[in-house]
């Protein structure tokens, strides 16, 4: 039983680790490669999607931490445990307290499946469940997303074989997990990053968006422009080519952005 306690406590620490590299290391030590996560707000499969999901929660609830409540119940390869999310500082702005119960399946010493149930919480605290939001992409949804980015919503706009051609990276970003992870990296590195749609045009199945980006990086305000060329298929993004010379976009494409430090440690 002691090894299961260690496994679950390491899993809880994943939700509190804001260093992206360390968090991915914890995920590799704790979850099977094809592990699945499901709760009322979202679902994720595999290490990269789960990492993006956690980064999105940290972005939405900065300064909060997760902890296990009570003992772990075990029945063969099935586990049940309770958890709590609460602010590190009781008087923090936007402080929320949420509790719930997770059910997990263990295999080969790792968590293979996690299903989470949330206790009732104020409706304004939680976004509409990602699974209930319609799949699809539009200029309007693009603008709404970048007004309040949540990486957990990214997969719902992409085809499974999506390709992202980003400046500074000779190889395209392929597939939903990797594409989502890059967006999560950007949000983690610049929590206040926002895009404003300046103008757009449509040509067949392609949409061109001229945008203006604003945010804070390493304590300095930044503002720059770029263009996305989005190719659609069945209402979803099949290909995105980003045209922008700013070093931050190049760093993102090459996986060199460092996460923003937030007080969300256990």
Q: For the chain, give every domain's residue range.
A: 2-125, 133-253
Token duo for residue 230: 């989005």
Q: Which residues pair with 158 in a beta bridge?
A: 237
Kindly give, in sequence order, each residue whose CB lies less than 8 Å from that of residue 93, ignoring residues fewer than 6 positions away.
none
The structure tokens 């422009």 sit at 225
Helix intervals (H) in 108-246: 139-147, 176-189
Helix intervals (H) in 94-215: 139-147, 176-189
Q: What confidence score (pLDDT) does residue 134 get?
A: 62
Q: What confidence score (pLDDT) does residue 126 get?
A: 47
Q: What confidence score (pLDDT) does residue 256 get?
A: 63
Q: Whole-angstrom Cα distance, residue 251 to residue 253?
A: 5
Token duo for residue 192: 């206040």
Q: Does domain 2-125 have CATH number 3.10.450.50?
A: yes
Q: Whole-angstrom Cα distance, residue 40 to residue 49?
A: 16
Q: Does domain 133-253 have CATH number 3.90.190.10?
A: no
Residue 205 DSSP class = T
Give CA separation, 188 vs 22, 38, 119, 183, 206, in Å: 13, 22, 27, 9, 29
Geometric angle at alpha carbon 100, from 183 and 46, rounded to 5°: 35
pLDDT per residue rounded down to tens, the chain (266 residues): 788 999 999 999 999 999 999 999 999 999 999 899 888 777 788 888 888 888 888 887 888 899 999 999 999 999 999 999 988 876 655 567 889 999 999 999 999 999 998 886 544 444 444 444 567 888 888 998 998 888 888 888 999 999 999 887 778 888 988 888 888 878 877 888 899 999 999 988 899 999 999 988 777 898 999 999 999 998 899 999 999 888 888 777 666 665 543 333 33
Let me know how long the chain is.
266
């Amino acid at each position: 039983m002691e090894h299961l306690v260690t496994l679950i406590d390491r899993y809880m620490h994943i939700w509190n680790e804001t260093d992206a590299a360390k968090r991915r290391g914890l995920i590799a030590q704790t979850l099977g490669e094809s592990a699945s996560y499901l709760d009322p707000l979202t679902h994720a499969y595999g290490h990269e999607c789960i990492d993006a999901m956690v980064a999105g929660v940290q972005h939405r609830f900065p300064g909060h931490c997760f902890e296990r409540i009570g003992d772990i119940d075990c029945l063969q390869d099935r586990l049940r445990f309770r958890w709590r999310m609460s602010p590190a500082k009781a008087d923090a702005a936007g402080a929320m307290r949420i509790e719930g119960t997770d059910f997990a399946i263990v295999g080969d010493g790792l968590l293979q499946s996690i299903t989470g149930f949330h206790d009732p919480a104020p409706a304004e605290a939680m976004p509409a469940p990602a699974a209930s939001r319609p799949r699809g992409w539009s200029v309007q949804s693009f603008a709404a997303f970048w007004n309040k980015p949540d990486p957990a919503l990214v997969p719902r706009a992409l085809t499974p074989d999506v390709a992202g051609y980003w400046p500074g990276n000779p190889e395209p970003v392929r597939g939903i997990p990797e594409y989502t992870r890059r967006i999560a990296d950007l949000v983690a590195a610049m929590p206040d990053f926002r895009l404003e749609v300046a103008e757009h045009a449509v040509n067949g199945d392609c949409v061109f968006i001229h945008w203006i980006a604003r945010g804070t990086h390493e304590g300095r305000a930044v503002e720059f422009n770029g263009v996305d060329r989005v190719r659609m298929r069945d209402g979803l993004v099949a290909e995105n080519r980003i045209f922008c010379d700013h070093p931050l976009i190049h760093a993102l494409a090459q996986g060199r952005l460092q996460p923003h430090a937030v007080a969300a440690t256990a």
